[in-house]
Amino acid sequence: MKQTLKQGTKRVRAKTNSKSNSNEEEEEEEEEEEKEDVRTIEDAKRELTKGIKYGKKMKARFQSERVEDKGLPLADSLVLISASCAIAICSIQLKHTPAWLREEWLREIPRDVLPNFPAVVAACVHGSKLAMFWIVGALAAKAYEVEAYDADYPEAIKRTVKAGCFACGSLILVEQASLRKSLEEIIGRGASTEYEFGTNVAADLLINSKTSDLILDCFVSAISMLLWRTIRWNSSVPDDV
């Protein structure tokens, strides 16, 4: 009897000890989960603060009041419009026109006096589009501050390249969206469907045309703006009143 009582007592103690151990483990797990939740909340608040600071920094960059030369954005735009006109002239001579010279709305423009007047209009419109992307990139790269054109030459080129990279990236994103929409109209499938090159002749021609036009725009714009900003850096312009 005594032995059975002792054995029963040991079993009860073992059960109580196991229960207490399991309770302690559960409490420790709950504490760890609470600590992880606190860390997660703190990390989220920290990342939110960093995001707000970065957003304010980018907003201030695009809303920069330091445009020392008030005529420089207009001059940049005219340079890019001239570059588009040069592309139009060369492509017409070579009889290999880009897609923006073959738009449907250009057929409605009268060409009685000037046969190539629609090409001039298309070049001005396309050049204005490139100028819009360039101005946004120049604001992001601080290319309208006096240090971008009236300081060291490497700094002027550096800011010009930064502005051009931002402008080309923005142009590529917009052209990708336009190309995707055009492909959906040609192949008749939704945006979620991936297209395999070589399955549709019309789609392949559109992709090749858009890609070549995009490469040409980026190359000509880069050369034009680098030359123009070099000339602007090397020339003395009176300060704005």
Per-residue pLDDT band for 24 (boundaries 50, 70, 90) equals low
Residue type, 144: Y
Residue type, 241: V
pLDDT digits (tens, 9 = 90+) for 68-80: 778 889 999 999 9
pLDDT given for residue 240 in this prediction = 45
Say if residue 34's pLDDT is above 60: no
Short-list 121, 213, 205, CA closest to 174: 213
The number of angstroms, rounded, from the C-alpha of 229 to the middle of its chain's C-alpha atoms is 23
**Tokens coding 237:** 């312009």
The number of angstroms, rounded, from the C-alpha of 56 to the middle of its chain's C-alpha atoms is 18
pLDDT given for residue 2 in this prediction = 45
Say if residue 198's pLDDT is above 90: no
Are the C-beta atoms of residues 156 and 235 closer than 8 Å to each other? no
DSSP state of 152: -
Residue type, 204: D
Short-list 179, 163, 178, 181, CA closest to 218: 163
Are the C-beta atoms of residues 130 and 221 closer than 8 Å to each other? yes
Spatial separation of the C-alpha atoms in residues 7 and 20, rounded to whole Å? 20
- DSSP string across 43-106: HHHHHHHHHHHHHHHHHHHHT-----STTHHHHHHHHHHHHHHHHHHHHHHHT---GGGS-GGG
Say if residue 224's pLDDT is above 50: yes
Q: Report the range of poorest mean pLDDT among 24-38, 67-81, 175-189, 205-219.
A: 24-38
Residues 6+ apart with CB under 8 A from 167: 130, 133, 134, 136, 137, 138, 221
3 state SS of 206: helix
Say if residue 47's pLDDT is above 90: no
Say if residue 168's pLDDT is above 90: yes
Q: ∠ at Cα 46 (40, 51), nearest 5°?
A: 125
Say if residue 6's pLDDT is above 60: no
pLDDT given for residue 132 in this prediction = 94
- Give backbone dihedrals phi and psi of 228, rounded to 5 degrees, phi first: -65, -45
Q: What is the CA radius of gyration of the chain?
A: 33
Residue type, 13: R
Percent above pLDDT 90 for the chain: 28
E strand residue ranges, the chain? none
Spatial separation of the C-alpha atoms in residues 37 and 4, rounded to whole Å? 49
Average pLDDT over residues 23-39: 60
